Structure 1
């Protein structure tokens, strides 16, 4: 079996608006607490207007425009939000992402949540894009893992897609990934694969992790369609790809970073998973410039 993997798509990823609104609403409630924005209410008159520009301070990949839009919308003052960029766009320093006009109190009380989401998600998208660009000449795709910020997994995985990456499973409930401890308890790779196949429906993906070429051969003999080869090293990955001979999809994982991903991709693997693109991604510097209206 020969695996063909589409590297790009003309359709940009999206998130249900209700998920965005729920996340933003929770963040605003956390920030406003029990008494609201004491600083803004004490220093800014209730009828004062302002115009705000959200501006990128550095180059990167944008993600989180609708989170910012929702932050200002939930401020409850009928603020006008005009976006000039969309998620997935490449940013240069000084690019204006969006402009908000209206009640100054409402803007200043919701700006931090808007910027928190924009900076965090754009940082993930930017880091993912750096990884993806390094392997664009190969068939491999960079994937995220379940190592995400608690409560933000769907958002961070969306940011990975905006950066040109692919998503691994979202949780324990949407795919089977048989790891070394499962194999140890089951007794063998074959037993684990057969047990999983008998338990789940035909639409559930079953992947198994292996640590050696001998385990890889057993997994392939048992009919595994996707195999995660963990900490194989470059030469080990080349041997694994040769042994596989197109029978299954091969995912490389373990210790992969910005300095090693190109060599890993050139071994011929199909997927490369790394937590570096989510939990280790630095934020993108996006600022807010205000002028009185």
Structure 2
């Protein structure tokens, strides 16, 4: 039954994304984050670094984008990180006379893939990273796990994530005790991150230790007998819903990892339709990235909460 639940979770990921209205980002990219306004509280410490960015040093935009991703996963932070990454790549391309962007361009595409909210965009950026990678081989973490490990181990790793989410801590701990399963999760734990959300396997282990519910043992109700009469009440600890409380971003990150571990499931037409609405994978053209992300390389200076053409 747990195996069926994991497979169902993969299909659910596409439904949740579509239901939320975030399943597809337009080619125009996100709007200017915080134009004319102060940065969100979690990013205000980066104001001086943003102001110091110059087109003569494209890698600086990438470095600040990494810090933005580490500090916040709010929508404005997501938009700012994506524009910083796109500017980094486009400014490097222009500095090289459109002759490529070297290692920086590949790194930018990998970061944008990690920030993508749907599978189609993620695959496009991974393909673009492969085009830009001067070594001819995209980083190992972008490859499907069955190429590096057997399907059974990948399946067990996926069930760990599902069991933790369901509050089945005992089953999760049993699988985590297998060194091969733990190693697979650690190898692909970056997919658990959503705009810098930390924790990875450490967070899974902590949640596995916290469940089942200490009060009801995941029975969802507690029993009390008084004067020969038995009364059942909703568990006051888990409120009848065992498992950790997840944000939408955390849920999508978990489903993304499960889908990645069970990547063979996308050979079915129904799962393919659920994941990307059967849209074709566009040819990866790095020159399109700035426009896709709403980044204007003619406005590379951060001034008063927005991008400016003048220093």
Higher helix share: 2
Q: Which has the higher contact order (CA 8 A, sep 6+)?
A: 2
Task: Give the alignment's TM-score, normalised by structure 2.
Answer: 0.27
Higher strand share: 1
